[in-house]
Amino acid sequence: MTARSLLSFFALTLAAAPALAQGANYSVSGGALYGTVRGWTVVLSEQYGCSAYPEAMPIVFNSPPAGGWQLILPYTATAPDGEYQGSIDVDKYSFTDTYFGEGGWLYASFPLEMRKAVADGQTISVHVEPAATTLNLAGSTAALLKLEECWQALTGWTAEGSSRAGTFAFSGD
């Protein structure tokens, strides 16, 4: 699935469920604590899937129940909801795409190449007008691996017994 089709999927999902989009809660109060690892909290939610976030920064890695990956970042509540062009930079790598802003959050696809860059990176910088944010990525590799484990626990996915593709942090998409 391409980044554009994922963006369209997220936009349709959010449009179809406005209460979900406006009240999305990826924190422990929106689900159950799955675990903590290297400064990141991992939450399991039947509704939102598995999410990982560091306590000190507003960034969320999310793997919805249906599989796949989302990167959710702070945006601005003053901008109207909709699609925005911009880039997400991880150290020396730049990922330019169209992102979806809604309710103070920016929703981005989180493809394999970006996950690998995040795992190896020190900082992530978001440049999507009118917002710009730079965040530290300490512990992100462990968080992505724990998120993969959480998703498997949530869905009951096993390599031997599941007919659909798994959601893996550092292989496939």
Mean pLDDT, rounded, for 42-68: 94
Predicted TM-score of the model (pTM): 0.83
CATH number of domain containing 132: 2.60.40
Question: What's the whole-number average pLDDT of the chain?
Answer: 85
Q: Cis check for the bond before 54: say yes or no (omega within 30 of 0).
A: no
pLDDT band at 50 (very low <50, low <70, confident <90, very high): very high
Q: What angle do CA 98, 102, 107 make, to 5 degrees?
A: 45
Owning domain of residue 66: 3-155
Q: Is residue 171 part of a domain?
A: no
Is 173 inside any structural domain? no
Name the domain count of the chain: 1
Q: Quick check: is 145 in a domain?
A: yes
> For 25-38, what is the mean pLDDT?
94
Does residue 170 lie in a domain region? no
131 lies in a domain? yes
Kindly indicate the confidence band of residue 58, based on its pLDDT and cuts at 50, 70 and 90: confident
Residue 152's SS3 state is helix
The 10s digit of each residue's pLDDT in 138-172 is 999 999 999 999 999 999 999 899 998 999 999 97
The answer to whether residue 48 is domain-embedded is yes
First-residue to last-residue Cα distance in the chain: 8
